Structure 1
């Protein structure tokens, strides 16, 4: 089992103004984020605009990313897709490329909604690969909620060793923890509380614009320095509340670009937020500069 403890930064995908992926910037960002101390990088993440990437683009991101990472931190590849054969094809390719773990959404958009159907979906993937599966609870996006009971059943699969919980419900999050399985927080606005409750770590989109702060927060909690963690959290929280309640991906890339991380562009069909929305996002970053 891979050790995914710590901050696993859900990497943005750098796009030029024409929408093409800038692979040079991709590799530069990998170095910058590793130098900031992150424990893992999620390639092809939701924050990286995964739904708008082709399979071949994801494969190239995995290949160039894993080579650049060069075992300096964990490489987690998102291999989600709607077609079952494509999920397995993406997953086996990522494993062959050297991924440490795979992050995979449940079968959303008119797929099976019952627990047995979701379990069978992951069982088929589990049989095809030999590295960790990170399941994904994000009902606000998929319409599917992974119950604590289903999580316990999924955890009995050979490779289903983690879940990323982005729902933001601390009750469910703690019920997950009660199963004894490993949980990674995915909700920006609950991160400090999830870590204090015992989450193994986080898969964190907001870390794109504050990698140093997220690593410091994790280190404070891991050391039992909760007063220091909460003091840092108060500086981080305004921007996290903003991205969680506005256009998430656009806000993250605007904030990241402002702080020297990435190019600040999104890919169609997403649209850039306007100047007023950008200014509102940037105002929330002020506490981080004090």
Structure 2
């Protein structure tokens, strides 16, 4: 079982103006994030615009990424797809190039939404691979909630050792923690509270533009310096609230660009934030400099 404690940064995919992947900047970003002290990198994350990448592009990201990381931190690769055979194919490829774990969404488009159907989906994938599966609870995007009862069944599978919870419901999050220690927070705006509640790790998109602050927050909480953690949190919160309530990925990428991480470009069908939103984002980011 891979140790996914700490800050697992849900890494952006840097694009050129024409929407092509800039692999040179991708490798430079990996070095920057590793040097900031992150404990893991999630390649092909939602923040990395996974739905708009081809399977071939994902494979290339994972091949180049794992080689560049070279064991300096953990590697989680997203191998989500609507077709189960494709999920397994993507998963096996990521495993073959050195991924420590796989992040896999439930079958989110008109697939099974009942507990039995979701269990069978993950069971088939589990039997085909030998590294950790990170399940994914993000009902606001998929329309599917992973119930606590389902989680109890899933963690009995050989490789289903983690679940990323991005729903933002701290009550459910704490119920998950009663079931398994392998809960990873994925809701930016609840991070500090989830860590204080006992969450061992996070998968964090907002860390793209503040990796040093993210690592420091984690260190403060695990060392029980909660007052200092909350002081830091108050500087982080304005921008986190902005990205969570606005266009998430375009906002994260623009914030990252403003702070020296990446190009700020998105791939269609996403579009950049508006001029007014850009001004509001820049004001929110000012708190980080206090």
* TM-score calculated relative to the size of structure 1: 0.99
- Cα deviation, 1:65-92, whole Å, max 9, x if unaligned, reads 0000000000000000011111000000
> Which segments of 5 or more consecutive residues in structure 2 lack a partner in the other structure?
none
Structure-2 residue corresponding to 1:269: 269
CA distance in 2, matches of 1:49, 1:212: 23
The question of whether the paired residues in 2 share the 8 Å contact of 1:152 and 1:179 is answered with: yes
TM-score, normalised by the number of residues in structure 2: 0.99
Structure 1: gaps spanning 5 or more residues: none
* Residue aligned with 1:128, SS: coil
Q: CA RMSD in A?
A: 0.5
Between the aligned partners of 1:180 and 1:76, the Cα distance in structure 2 is: 19
Q: 1:104-253 maps to which residues of 2 (within 5 A)?
A: 104-253=104-253
Instruction: Check whether the contact 1:152–1:181 (CA below 8 A) recurs between aligned residues.
Output: no
1:200: Cα distance to partner? 1.3
For 2:42, what is the secondary structure of its paired residue?
strand
Cα distance between partner residues in 1 of 2:81 and 2:267: 18
Q: Distance in 2 between matches of 1:133 and 1:24?
A: 29
SS, match of residue 47 in structure 1 = helix
Count how many residue pairs are aligned between Structure 1 and Structure 2. Answer: 290
Cα separation, 1, equivalents of 2:271 and 2:224: 42
2:122 partner SS: helix
Counterpart position of 1:86: 86
**Deviates most, 184-193 or 267-276:** 267-276
Q: Any conservation in 2 of the 1:155–1:181 contact (CA below 8 Å)?
A: no
What secondary structure sits across from 2:151 in the alignment?
helix
* C-alpha displacement of 1:180: 3.0
SS of residue matched to 1:76: strand
Given that 2:181 and 2:200 are in contact with CA atoms closer than 8 Å, whether structure 1 keeps it comes out as no
Mapped partners of 1:282, 1:49: distance in 2: 23
